Structure 1
Amino acid sequence: MRILCMILDQLPIEVEIQRNPQLAKKPLVLLRPCNQRVLIAAKSLHDIRINPGESRRSVEQRYPNAFFLTATESLYQKKHTQLKNILGRFCTDIESNALGEFFISTTMLSRIFKSEADLCAKVVQQIVAETQLPVTVAIAGNKFTAYCASLQANPTCTIPMGKEADFLASLPLTALINPPSELLRRLNIFGIKTLGEFAQLPRGSVIRQFGPELAHFHDMACGNDNRILKPFTYPPTIILSQTLTNPLSDIQPTQNILHKLTTQLSQRLEQSGYHANALTLSITDESEHSKHINTSIKPPTSTDIRLQRISSNLLSQLKNTYPIIKIELKAYPLHEWHKNTYQIKLFEQHKNRYNKHALQKTIGSLKQRFGEHAIQFANNVGPPKPKGLRVHCDPAGIPSKLQIRKQTYMVKHIHQHWRVQSQWWHNPIERDYYQVNISDGRLITLFCDHKETWFLDRAVH
């Protein structure tokens, strides 16, 4: 099988440069509007190692000359979808795991185009004609080689069958897909810097040194990648909004509109098979001033009721925004849980007589390297102990507000209340449990003992 990889490296940066060409020479950093944290930074800042999620203040301290710009994520999603639709004219089965990254099979296309170089040129020509964005395209015998080649392409590249290892040989080890830092550290100790040097090591030696679970990195360095194409599309951020013809100054109509948006959001999530792991609410007033607030969702969800409760809490925290002319709700869908994860085996199945020896050997090597306290045995590890809380109750004894880590939160809703009485014959335990929703959107469980002392039940969380 031959695989085509099309990449628009740093799609958000390229889109912003397209909107304002003067940004091309600036050390650009895009910030999420909801929390002013880094979405992506220009390549010129890679040496400083500015990573997504860092705060603006952290970047300013390390690089005062950075040029900050608020990200327009909805625009980036539209460009990603536009690229996917154009590529879909060549092949409908597209794998896309990130913004601006696409894979397709060229098996059927080889009958239509004169050569692979002609196919690459036609794809680039079509993309540039409709979007004016600088995509790169490469074709190789597997996904990893095609991906690396597309990053090196100018703007196209084809790797002949059987020449994958030769092309990869000069690339640094960091070209591997999510390599463990320990693998890079130990290879660096051995003086191995490139994929070609890594590929020269005998596979058996690599397995003995790093374990069979990391052998696929050696396979990739040798130009072998057995991963098949999976038609999968990077889940775009779901953005729902409503612009109001008549500004709203009352909280109840605003809540009603927000509930409609969350219902639509829940339906979109369930149709796509994803859960939201973060939610952002944006409110725009008559002066066109916008306020943003966001929260993570743990555990992620797609249920309408829970999304409504979280969005209502976010709305209640946005103050002095009336009258409102626009409401926007943005959800960040959760990727498939198994993406880019690997299960490490201590020993193979069906070898029970060797299990104890293999486990003892593994534990011994971990202790030798990381110290005696690096290992905790399951039968010695219990649930976390309850944490004391300051709780204020109403006259009926029902919790109304509480303090966690010196922060005060209001109790918005009580979902459950139950009483536990046990060990009456020895050491009596009497507790009143409350499962409550607090003002930051979290659902927590707290209890009060017979001494009227309150605790956070951390075993539940």
Structure 2
Amino acid sequence: AVLPLDPDTHRRLLQLGIRTLGALAALPEEAVVSQFGRAGRRMWRLAAGRIAEPVVGRVVPEPIVAALTFYSPVGERELLARTLDTLLDRALKNPRRIGWRVHVVCVRAELEHGASWRATATLKDPTADRERLAAPLRSQLEQSPPAGAVERLAVEFTAFAPGTAELQLFARDANAAARAGRRHALKSAVREIELRIKRPMLYHVIEVQPWSRLPERRYALIDYEP
């Protein structure tokens, strides 16, 4: 059995040698209150069976993926880094990510001739900030770049941590819920089209090299995921 404790309270209990519900319940209630205040009274009564509260679980989001298929294979690291930023932005805007910070992020590249490349970063402090997510991936891209031109690049969030109070408030915002509803309707329509056509046919066109004179370098196709 576990108690709904924040990390600091859990650490303090361990420092006091209290590791089980029985050990906590064996202490005088007022002694626990003197150490932990009102929260101490609640956790002592929970441990002693004086009160009961329903367990409310949280559904952790499934992995979130954002991918881009290049019009022609790309080998320039600068372009790959810019594309990485674009994909991170897109993944962070996914409605399923609202209310959660990212704990583990990875980037995958499909190379010419069937080869592949992958980099993964586990953040000590989970975040929803693009720059903090991109920094370790950019570092791996520079130190151990793909061994060939990239045909497709994908970013994936694979593990999450609960968000801050501000993120939780945003998650309950009515406008966010409305946007999520519209996206759900779009996803249903896209799924129906894909079932009929049997292969991906819907893409976004995004600008990746605005300075290039070649259209195939200036723009790239990204899988359409509403």
Q: Normalized against structure 2, the TM-score is what?
A: 0.47
Q: Per residue, is there more helix in 1 or in 2?
A: 2
Greater relative contact order, per chain length (Cα 8 Å cut-off, separation 6+) = 2
Structure index of larger Rg: 1
Q: Normalized against structure 1, the TM-score is what?
A: 0.27
